[in-house]
Each structure stands twice: as structure tokens, then as C-alpha cells.
Amino acid sequence: MPAPHVYTEATLATMQPDAGDYGLIPDAALVTEGAHIAWLGPMADLPKQYASVGITPLAGRLITPAFIDCHTHIVHGGNRALEFEMRLQGASYEEVARAGGGIVSTVTATRDTSEADLLAAALTRADALIAEGVSTIEIKSGYGLDIETELKMLRTARQIAAHRPVRVSTSFLGAHAVPKGGDADTYIDEVCLPALKAAHAEGLVDMVDGFCEGIAFDVPQITRVFDAAHALGLPVKLHAEQLSNIGGTELAAKYNARSADHVEYATEADARALAAAGTVAVLLPGAFYTLHETQKPPVAAFRAHGVPMALATDWNPGSSPLGSLLLSMNMGCTLFGLTPAEALAGTTRHAAAALGLTDSGTLTAGQRADLAIWNVSSPAELSYGIGINPLHARIFAGQAT
Ligand code: DI6
Ligand code: FE
């Protein structure tokens, strides 16, 4: 049995459900044993057996569950600064996509980048997230659009966890865009579904995602992808209602998706469907901001119907070149009207649910000891700062990293 370690003089934001906004415990201690949390509570209640083991006093600092970025595209080649300039001159995201830019241009760059170079670039992005207390990163494919490159992206994503103290959850996003000159239905049959089967056979797929949108795939096409996912025993999630409402959220709920992401154009009926299915709404303010979107996700309806809301970076080279989960929390509050407590739940407990993780996302005895220790005295400070990183230390599976 590894020796326990005790963090004392801490404030804990446990983020446990039904424990009030943050599940705050002031003047607290937290004990890790190996990779897990063994005990937490008020200092005054610290069991005697932990009084004489390794102790780190935290001088009142805040401990939260380590962050989980539950929606990223950090494995990709190239960048789209040129497209950024085009959009600043007035071209819309859809116009850029239809002109052969957009996702398809990143596809060319990703195909042309070696696995080693893809990994090197993705590791620098993972490092930026880790530096903000992130312990778990969801990473999607979707910039290959051929079997070989989709597999290359997923292998690269898996490699990140071998090179850094971080967990990676992979999503197969073959249904991200139709390759240049291709037909959507033919692409699904001849590339997307065979790629999914091959990637699953290699153990590269944790979840299956799609982009349900006018410029991408419609409900019947995503339905075929979801049916294939379920036939393989894989859970699904969906980019839904980002630029328009074409029924993606309803479809996601019907397939008991772990999450429906973006959802700016979701309706009250969609919120009801998500709640009934236990599907998490993943809000992505980085894309909203970058695209000058004005339609906000229906946060009031999500609250009213009890839809859990997560927040993520959507880090991608086009619509959300955002490498900071802390900034996405600030944007979630400032742009979407989340409370700082909702924002923190969105990058911890609800982000875990969006990935189907039951072993992290709160400070609870028995959960993984994935912790973030912050130089702040109140949890609202995490959402309040803009471009400020108050991380003091990150604990990954019980180890300071
Ligand atoms: N929605 C997004 O915001 C990203 N993918 C998607 O389906 C955008 C990806 C890109 O522009 O490269
Ligand atoms: Fe995305």
C-alpha cells in the first residue's frame, strides 16, 4: 500500500452534486493514497492515522478536481491564420468552407503531416492545457477523411497519454466534413464506416462523434454513423445545432448521446429531450466568439429542465483556436451568462459526465486523486480572471506533476 499524503490548510471545492454551488469545505484537509482520494473533510475531523504521514500545508489555497477538457481537436496539421484574415475582411465561416477553405484545408495539412510531427504539435497544445490544471483531454479525429489519416490522428491522440501525465479520451469524428468533390452518402459508406470499424478494431475509439450541420451531414447520414457505433458497443456524441437547427440535438438524445455540443440553436423542446436522455450540453464559447455568433445557447432552458452543462475549449485551427479552459470558463460566464459555479461544474463534474467518466470530476473519497491546487481564495476567481493562470500545482493520479 503506498503511503498516504495529506494536504492541509486547504479550501476544497468538492463539486459534489447536491452539496451546494461548489460543495465548499473551508479549513479542510484532503488525503491521497496511491492514485486515489482516501479522505477529505474539515481539518478538525482528520482521522488520527493521518496525523503522522507526509503533509503539505496549503496556506488556505483552493483545491478543485483537476479540469477535464471534454471537446478538443488538438491533433491537426497546419493552422488557418489566413482564413482568420479572410473572415476579418467579411467572409463568413460558411463562405470560407464553401470556397474550399475551412475544415477541408486542415484535412490537406493533416494528411501531409507525419505522425511524429502531428504528435509534437499536439504535445505542445496538451502542455498548455496541463499547465492550467487539466488532467483529462478528449481528442477527436476528423481532419483525415480517409481511412489512413483518421487512424493516424487517433494513434497520435493515444500517444499523448504515453508522453504526458494526462488521460486521453478519443472520439472518432469521421463524419466531420465531406472531402472536396465528394458525395456525402458515398463518403459515409466507403470511408467513414470502414474507418470506424478499422479504428475500433485497433482499440483507438472511445466514443463516436459527428458534425450534424447544413455544411456537413444531415440527420439520416448521422443516424447511419450512430447505428454503426451502437452496433460496435460505442457511445455517441454530436456537434449539434451550431450554425442552424436541423434536428441534431433531438437525434443525439434519441441515441442517448453522452453529449450534444455547441447547441446555440437548440430549442426548449431540445432541452427537454436532452434532460430526458441524461445527455450533457457542452457549451463552446470559443467558437461562438471566433465566429461572431450572436445566437446564444438556451442556458435558461437547460437550467429549467436540469440539463447538465459542460464547458470546453473546442481547440481547433478554424472556429476555436482557444488553448485555455480557464478562458472558456470566463467566456461561459461573460458571453453565455453562466454563474462561476456553473462554469466550474462545467469543466469538472459535468465534463466528466460528457466523457462517461465516473472516477473523476469531483473531490470524493474513492475517486482518482486528480487535483488542481490554485493560488486563489475563492472559486469564482477562476472564472473572473482573463488570461491569468493561478495554478499552484497539479496532482495527477496522486502524483505532483
Ligand atoms: N464544429 C466546430 O466548431 C469545429 N468542427 C465542428 O464540427 C470546426 C472545425 C474547423 O473549422 O476546423
Ligand atoms: Fe468541435
The pLDDT score that the predictor gives to residue 223 is 98
Strands (E), 204-307: 207-212, 237-240, 259-262, 280-283
123 Cα: distance to centroid of ligand 1 (angstroms): 20
d(CA 14, CA 32): 14
pLDDT along the chain (401 residues), means of 10: 90 95 97 98 96 93 99 97 89 80 91 98 98 98 98 98 98 95 96 98 98 96 98 98 97 98 98 98 98 96 98 97 98 98 98 98 98 97 98 98 91
93 Cα: distance to centroid of ligand 1 (angstroms): 10
The pLDDT score that the predictor gives to residue 192 is 98
Locus of grid cell 472511445: 206
Q: Characterize 163-194 residue by residue with b for buried, 16 or more Cβ atoms within 10 angstroms of its Cβ, and e for exposed.
A: ebebbbbbbbbbbbbbbeeeebeebbeebbbe
The pLDDT score that the predictor gives to residue 137 is 99
Could you tell me if 136 and 160 are in contact, meaning their C-beta atoms sit under 8 angstroms apart?
no
Locus of grid cell 445545432: 241
Nearest partner of 339 among 19, 16, 75, 20, judged by Cα:
20
- From 212, 239, 265, mutation site for ligand 1 pocket: most ligand atoms within 8 A of C-beta: 239
For 314, the 3-state DSSP assignment is coil
Could you tell me if 67 and 372 are in contact, meaning their C-beta atoms sit under 8 angstroms apart?
yes
The pLDDT score that the predictor gives to residue 1 is 63
Nearest partner of 265 among 283, 286, 289, judged by Cα:
283
Q: Which residues hold their Cβ within 5 A of ligand 2, which is an ion? A: 314
The pLDDT score that the predictor gives to residue 124 is 98
65 Cα: distance to centroid of ligand 2 (angstroms): 24
Helix (H) or strand (E) holding 300: helix 299-305
172 Cα: distance to centroid of ligand 1 (angstroms): 14
Atom of ligand 1 nearest to the CA of 177: 7
The pLDDT score that the predictor gives to residue 180 is 85
DSSP 66: P
Locus of grid cell 472516477: 359
Look at ligand 1, atom 6, and give the residue with the nearest C-alpha: 211
Predicted TM-score (pTM) above 0.95:
yes
Locus of grid cell 473519497: 365
Beta strands 207-212 and 237-240: pairing type?
parallel
